[in-house]
């Protein structure tokens, strides 16, 4: 059987749903209904948030009734110093953490992928265990450790914990990317006189660029979205966006229009990635 027909057959065999007893028209309608429901389910909360952020303060409590819309909320939020500072800080931290983590996890993942033996095995188990340890178990004491290192409430004090956690999360993924690259090119380079580092840097790394891009996107968003580290390891000096938002919920609990506007601003990178970086994200979602 040729490859083409086998693929078609495969799609065919699985394209029967649960409702094969129904008439084809009813089946298609049911399917369309399910697909629509899924779309609605996953977008409605975001849609509702955007809608709330566009409502004036007077109309926010009856979002579903009014027809008045305004962008004043965004003006007001963006004129608050703390929000601007938090936006800037979150951006700097995410970018710096991505650069640092990528460098560190690329080498660690390469090592896991290319070598066998007690050292890679130990390293892998170590990473696995630290990936499982709940954050609170080491972020709580990190509050004191960073104070002793005099990096509490600074960029460094938040950056390094992020890098440490990214190592545990992304070394696996990086290993997967390198597993997918044939090492024979590296061997060829080494036979031609390239050092091990040269083979890694000049041959393996350029081939891994798609994987690295995927990882960079995930890493950046992950840091941008992170909450617990920022909550414990920062204070007034280095406000972080997620923490500022969560404080809004508890402090100005009634100003939902302002809060929604802040959340929508914080959501922009996620929307951009969903629309334009989808391919990369899906590639990075391996386990």
Partner 1 sequence: MTEKTRFMLALIAPAAVAILLFQIVPILTGANASFRDWTLYDPKRTWVGTANYVHVLRDPEFLGIVLPNTFGFMAASVACALVLGLAIALMLNRRFPGRWLVQTLVLLPLMVAPVIAAIMIRWMFNDQFGVVNAALEGLGFAPITWLTQRWTAFLVILLTDVWLWTPWFALILLAGLQSLPPEPFEAAQIDAAGAWRTFRYITLPMLRPVMVVCVVIRAIDAFRTFDIVWTISGGGPARATEVFSIYAYVESFQFLNLGRGSAAAVIGAIIIVVFALLLYRLLNRLVEVSR
17-46: contacts with partner 1 (CB under 8 A):
17-18, 20, 31, 34-35, 38-39, 41-43, 45-46
Q: CB of residue 153 vs partner 1: minimum separation in angstroms?
A: 15
Radius of gyration over every alpha carbon of the chain, rounded to an integer in angstroms: 24
Among 29, 71, 80, 141, binds partner 1 (CB under 8 A): 141
Residue closer to partner 1 by CB (options 10, 75) is 10
Task: Output the 3-class SS for the chain.
Answer: CCHHHHHHHHHHHHHCCCCCCCCHHHHHHHHHHHHHHHHHHHHHHHHHHHHHHCCCHHHHHHCCCCCCCCCHHHHHHHCCHHHHHHHHHHHHHHHHHHHHHHHHHHHHHHHHHHCCCHHHHHHHHHHHHHHHCCHHHHHHHHHHHHHHCCCCCCHHHHHHHHHHHHHHHHHHHHHHHHHCCCCHHHHHHHHCCCCHHHHHHHHHHHHCHHHHHHHHHHHHHHHHHCCHHHHHHCCCCCCCHHHHHHHHHHHCCCCHHHHHHHHHHHHHHHHHHHHHCHHHHHHHCCC
- Judged by CB under 8 A, which stretch of 7-15, 78-86, 181-189, 206-214 contacts partner 1? 7-15
- Please give the Cα distance from 251 to 249 (Å, whole number): 6
Q: CB of residue 273 vs partner 1: minimum separation in angstroms?
A: 5
Under the binding rule (CB under 8 A), the answer on residue 238 touching partner 1 is no
Q: CB of residue 81 vs partner 1: minimum separation in angstroms?
A: 21
Place of tokens 């700097």: 92
Q: Which of residues 192-221 bind partner 1 (CB under 8 A)?
A: 196-197, 200, 221
- Please give the Cα distance from 184 to 170 (Å, whole number): 24
Among 212, 215, 232, 261, binds partner 1 (CB under 8 A): 232
- Build a one-symbol-per-residue string for 176-195: x at contacts with partner 1 by CB under 8 A, - elsewhere: --------------------
- Build a one-symbol-per-residue string for 67-86: x at contacts with partner 1 by CB under 8 A, - elsewhere: --------------------
Under the binding rule (CB under 8 A), the answer on residue 107 touching partner 1 is yes
Q: Which of residues 240-269 bind partner 1 (CB under 8 A)?
A: 242, 245-246, 249-250, 256, 259-260, 263, 266-267, 269
Among 77, 83, 87, 168, binds partner 1 (CB under 8 A): 168
- Please give the Cα distance from 274 to 52 (Å, whole number): 21
Under the binding rule (CB under 8 A), the answer on residue 126 touching partner 1 is yes
Under the binding rule (CB under 8 A), the answer on residue 99 touching partner 1 is no
Among 23, 25, 81, 134, binds partner 1 (CB under 8 A): 134
- Judged by CB under 8 A, which stretch of 70-78, 97-105, 181-189, 207-215 contacts partner 1? 97-105
Among 74, 91, 123, 201, binds partner 1 (CB under 8 A): 123
Among 145, 181, 190, 194, binds partner 1 (CB under 8 A): 145
User: Please, is 226 exposed, middle or buried when counting C-beta atoms within 10 Å of its C-beta (0-12, 13-18, 19+)?
Assistant: buried
Residue closer to partner 1 by CB (options 85, 286) is 286
């Amino acid at each position: 059987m040729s490859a083409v027909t086998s693929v078609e057959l495969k799609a065919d065999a699985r394209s029967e749903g649960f409702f094969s007893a129904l008439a084809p028209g009813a089946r298609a309608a049911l399917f369309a209904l399910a697909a629509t429901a899924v779309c609605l389910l996953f977008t409605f909360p975001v849609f509702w948030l955007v809608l709330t952020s566009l409502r004036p303060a007077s109309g926010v409590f009856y979002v579903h009734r009014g027809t008045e819309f305004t962008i004043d909320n965004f003006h007001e939020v963006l004129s608050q110093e703390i929000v601007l500072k938090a936006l800037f800080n979150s951006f700097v931290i995410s970018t710096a953490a991505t650069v640092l983590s990528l460098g560190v996890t690329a080498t660690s993942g390469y090592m896991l992928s290319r070598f066998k033996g007690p050292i890679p095995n130990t390293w892998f188990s170590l990473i696995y265990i630290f990936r499982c340890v709940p954050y609170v178990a080491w972020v709580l004491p990190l509050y004191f450790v960073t104070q002793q290192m005099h990096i509490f409430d600074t960029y460094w004090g938040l950056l390094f914990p992020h890098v440490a956690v990214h190592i545990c999360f992304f070394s696996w993924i990086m290993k997967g990317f390198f597993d997918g690259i044939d090492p024979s090119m590296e061997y060829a380079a080494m036979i031609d006189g390239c050092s091990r580092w040269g083979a890694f840097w000049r041959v393996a790394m350029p081939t891994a660029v798609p994987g690295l891009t995927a990882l960079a996107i995930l890493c950046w968003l992950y840091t941008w979205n992170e909450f617990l580290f920022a909550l414990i390891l920062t204070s007034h000096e280095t406000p972080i966006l997620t923490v500022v938002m969560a404080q809004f919920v508890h402090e100005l609990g009634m100003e939902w229009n302002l809060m929604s506007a802040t959340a929508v601003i914080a959501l922009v990178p996620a929307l951009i990635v969903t629309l334009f970086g989808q391919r990369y994200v899906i590639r990075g979602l391996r386990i």
